[in-house]
Amino acid sequence: MKDISESQARLRGIFNITVTPFTANGEFDFAGLARNVERVIELGYDGILIGGTYGEFPTMTTEERAVLFRNVMDVVGDRVPVMLCSAGSDTRVVGELTTLAGELGGLPMVTPPFVSEVTNAQIVSFFKKMAPLSRTGILVYNAPGIGITLPPVVLEELADIEGVVGIKQGDLNPTAIDQIANRLGGRLRLFCASDLAFLGPMMCGFDGISTTNSGALPELILATYRALENGDANTARELHQLWYPYRALARRHGQPQVVKAAMNLRGFDGHHVRSPLNDLQGDVIEEVKSELLRLAADSRCGVTLK
């Protein structure tokens, strides 16, 4: 993407949150990453997100994140839009990565700076400093998992900042979703940050979702989204219900651990998580395998195992 207008035009649909495959020694497996990216593009995903929270960016150095950005953009080119997570607590690092992401033709995804006792006014000021740094604009990620949840009133302030092209909403409180959809819809792009419960936000008028579990279940989650996109809410609901037991495992044992384990069982390049996370072991792996076998037995899912 070359500018903010193109970002606004292309930022919609279903985006795969691509996990970062690490070797047992904690190194990047760029060949495996490329295969994972190609798989979802070939299936018809509208875009990808690289180096996000489930891409394990907090375990990476600034230099590693920059290398990751460049590597993926070399693979993708301009075939689909790419969100590049430039989040962090150090404004200097966030600024550097935000600038780089825009220069590479990606869309920087920025969270509030996760430092203690930061005020809403300071958060707004932070985003005002970040937005002009990227020629493609920025995507604001409202990510409760970092310990900061932006209320709708603050998101409305952020929506007025020039260069903010979208909001990825991780707070799935129905009241907040309803307010955001009706007050900000049409002004900028709205993304649901969770594939664990995306039917509601999409029905409210959000423009797209980002999905980590599509690394493990790319066919099923894509089919669910397309059904909803085509107005077939009944089919979307039925497909979404099919993988509830898997979602329960993901909630219990964590993402990206479950996603990577499931990918490995399917013959994909999930590989390992980085410390301080730990790979799933033993009985938990068997739980994941049993769920994949159940899904594979249902022709509606499109799931196969190696």
The CA angle 9-15-17, to the nearest 5 degrees, is 140
- Gap between the Cα atoms of 277 and 167, Å rounded: 28
The pTM (predicted TM-score) of the whole model is 0.96
> What are the Cα distances from residue 300, in Å, to 219, 238, 287, 290?
10, 10, 21, 17
Residue 40 · residue 49 · CB < 8 Å: no
Mean pLDDT (10-residue bins), the chain, 306 residues:
95 97 96 98 98 95 98 97 97 98 98 92 97 98 91 96 97 94 95 92 95 97 96 95 95 96 97 96 96 94 86
Calculate the CA dihedral of residues 212, 214, 216, 218 and round it to 10 degrees. Answer: -170
Give me the pLDDT at residue 249, please: 96
Q: Would you state the pLDDT for residue 204?
A: 93
Provide the pLDDT for residue 175.
94
Phi, psi of 120 (to 5 degrees): -60, -40
The CA distances from residue 189 to 119, 162, 185, 246, in Å, are 25, 14, 7, 29
Q: What whole-number distance in Å separates Cα of residue 93 and Cα of residue 71?
A: 19
Which residues lie across from 210 on neighbouring strands?
15
The predicted structure's pLDDT at residue 155:
97
Closest CA to 228 of 200, 190, 247: 200
Helix (H, G, I), strand (E, B) or coil at 14: strand
Q: How far apart are CA 33 and CA 22, in angstroms?
A: 9
Degrees (nearest 5) of the Cα angle 140, 143, 149? 100
Task: Please report which helix (H) or strand (E) contains residue 201, including its range.
Answer: helix 199-204
Tokens of 136: 């493609």
What is the rounded CA–CA span in Å between residue 26 and residue 266?
Answer: 21
* E strand or H helix at 284: helix 282-296
Cα–Cα nearest to 77, from 108, 41, 44 = 41
Strand segments (E) across the chain: 13-18, 47-50, 82-85, 107-110, 138-142, 164-169, 189-192, 208-211
